[in-house]
Amino acid sequence: MVAVGTWLAQYLPKMPVQALDDTTVTMNDTARALYNADPFTYRGGMRARWANQFITTAADITAHFKDIKIPYLAVHGGSDGICHLDGAKRMESDSSSEDKTLRVYSGGGHELFEDNTHASGVFSEIVGWMKRRTYVPPSK
């Protein structure tokens, strides 16, 4: 499959190879309707060259997960069909950071900030994570 993608990227770089399923973007019907109504949203399918570059870059990043040493919080929708949960789990297992958190929101899509069910929890999670790691000197 990679060989076919590489060939397409070289010889038919603008060929659409896969369209985005809008139901994987967000679980929020209102946000999805706005996304679909946006005249600047490209719907013609991922182009071959872009897809090939994305896959190549993702493989390069994955190879360097072991080099991640800083603290991080990764939030992920359990029903995200764009960025697969396996990648986040692999980052968690392969990174060298001693302070790493992967929080999976069951049923959440790709855009968790747009999710009616999870958005406030995601924001609270991020703010709380940052507060626990930030020194604030006492007031005088």
Predicted TM-score (pTM) of the model is: 0.81
Q: What is the CATH number of the domain that holds 29?
A: 3.40.50.1820
Residue 122 is assigned to a structural domain of this protein: yes
- Nearest CA to 113 out of 103, 122, 102, 105 is that of 122
Residue 89 is assigned to a structural domain of this protein: yes
Cα–Cα distance measured from residue 90 to residue 95, given in angstroms and rounded to the nearest whole number? 8
The domain total for the chain is 1
Residue 74 is assigned to a structural domain of this protein: yes
Residue 1 has pLDDT above 80, yes or no: no
| pLDDT value for 13 | 86
Q: What is the pLDDT of residues 32-41, one digit of tens each?
A: 899 889 999 8
Cα–Cα distance measured from residue 101 to residue 73, given in angstroms and rounded to the nearest whole number? 5
Q: Quick check: 14 and 46 in contact, CB under 8 A?
A: no
Structure tokens at 20: 């985005």
Cα–Cα distance measured from residue 91 to residue 36, given in angstroms and rounded to the nearest whole number? 32
- Residue 117 sits at φ, ψ, to 5 deg, of -80, -35
Residue 68 is assigned to a structural domain of this protein: yes
Residue 63 is assigned to a structural domain of this protein: yes
Q: What is the pLDDT of residues 35-80, one digit of tens each?
A: 889 999 888 888 889 889 988 999 999 999 999 999 999 999 999 9
Residue 8 has pLDDT above 90, yes or no: no
Cα–Cα distance measured from residue 113 to residue 28, given in angstroms and rounded to the nearest whole number? 10
Q: What is the pLDDT of residues 88-118, one digit of tens each?
A: 999 999 999 999 999 999 999 999 998 889 9
Residue 137 is assigned to a structural domain of this protein: no
Residue 2 has pLDDT above 80, yes or no: no
Residue 138 is assigned to a structural domain of this protein: no
Give the residue numbers spanning the domain of 12: 2-132
Residue 139 is assigned to a structural domain of this protein: no
